[in-house]
Amino acid sequence: MTLRPGHPLNSGASASSAVVRQLRGDQKAARPVWFMRQAGRSLPEYRALRERYAMLESCVTPDIAAEITLQPVRRHGVDAAIFFSDIVVPFLLAGIDVEIQSGVGPVIDQPVRSHRDLDRLRPLEAHSLEPIAEAVSQVVQELGSTPLIAFGGAPFTLASYLIEGGPSKDLAITRAMMSEDRELWDAVLTWCADITAAFISAQVHAGASALQLFDSWAGKLGAQDYVSSAAPHSAALFSQLDDLVDDSGTRVPRIHFGLGTAEFLPEMLAVGADAIGVDATITLAKAHAALGGEVPLQGNIDVGLLDAPWEVLRRHLDDVLESGRVAPGHVLNLSHGVPKDTDPDVLTKIVDYVHEVGS
List residues with catalytic annotation.
Answer: 37, 41, 50, 86, 161
One-letter amino acid at 16 equals S
Ramachandran bin of 244, using left for φ above 0, alpha for ψ from -120 to 50, beta for the remaining angles: beta
Interatomic CA distance for residues 252 and 149, integer angstroms: 10
d(CA 230, CA 179): 12
The answer for residues whose C-beta is within 8 angstroms of residue 119's C-beta and 6 or more apart is: none
Query: Residue 328's beta-bridge partner residues?
Result: none
**E strands, 3-143, in order:** 81-82, 98-101, 105-108
Are 294 and 328 a contacting pair, CB within 8 Å? Answer: yes
CA nearest to 14, candidates 279, 286, 300, 208: 208
List the one residue out of 358, 303, 348, 277 whose CA is nearest residue 325: 358
Q: How far apart are CA 315 and CA 350, in angstroms?
A: 12
Residue 300, preceding peptide bond in cis (omega within 30° of 0): yes
